[in-house]
Amino acid sequence: MSVAPKITHVIYDLDGLLLDTEPLHAKVNQAIANRYGKTIDHQLQCQLCGRKSTDSAALIVETLKLPVTVEAYLQEKDAIIYQYYPHVPPLPGTVRLTNHLAAHNVPQAVATSSASRPFSAKTEPHQAWFSLFQCIVRGDDPELTRGKPDPDIFLITARRLGAEPERCLVFEDSLAGVAAARAAGMSVVAVPSPEMDPEAYKDAHQVLETLEEFDPEYWQLPAFDRQVSAPTV
């Protein structure tokens, strides 16, 4: 097996990577589209993943030619989705990996397109877990002017961690996120949702079905202790 670059810092996306929010977003977006007799097809859904909420809403409104403004669309979505955010669970393998790396003092960060308000709603039940991260950069960060697929969010995160981009490993579920990580000069592991075609992720350095498959040793990170069970949140 070839040896990957030495990784010193790890950066995670949030939606669809740490937390299982993407099916919820897809369901709510489709419910709103149905009100206007429209359907969000698979191609459009793939384009939406990983983007800032305003960018996603603009893409839906423009592509489906909805008779609403982006602001009105977001108001409709917020009226539905916030009641479900606190019930979104972690995805398989995420808690084990983040706790493992924290125990070995590997700096970790979250770089999410979610703005502060939805981020707080999604993570409120997981405060102890999210205290493991040394840095969290959200979609409404004052320094962030361009969202994924532009590399800005990852470069900001690396700078705040004091990390060299080439020593950062990014975990992403979206094509936009993979493109952003690559543009930032970072290594990236893709963990697409089951609905996505793994062949579309050819730009990722690795493609996994879940983070339960991740092997830290390949990236010269501390090996898992096989005797320790995954902690709960």
- Among the listed residues 15, 55, 152, 173, the single catalytic one is 15
3-state secondary structure of 178: helix
Task: Delineate the domains of the chain, giving CATH numbers in brackets.
Answer: 9-20+88-219 (3.40.50.1000), 22-86 (1.10.150.240)
- Among the listed residues 13, 55, 141, 152, the single catalytic one is 13
Q: Calculate what percentage of the chain has a pLDDT beyond 90.
A: 82
Structure tokens at 133: 């991260």
At CA 65, angle to CA 193 and CA 150, rounded to 5?
50
How much is the pLDDT for 1? 43
Is 152 annotated in the active site? no
Report the C-alpha gap between 179 and 217 in whole angstroms.
24
pLDDT beyond 70 at 230: no
Report the C-alpha gap between 171 and 191 in whole angstroms.
7
Residue 229 — pLDDT band, cuts 50, 70, 90? very low
Locus of tokens 């991260």: 133
pLDDT beyond 80 at 157: yes
**Average pLDDT, rounded, for the chain:** 92
Is 13 annotated in the active site? yes
Report the C-alpha gap between 198 and 76 in whole angstroms.
32
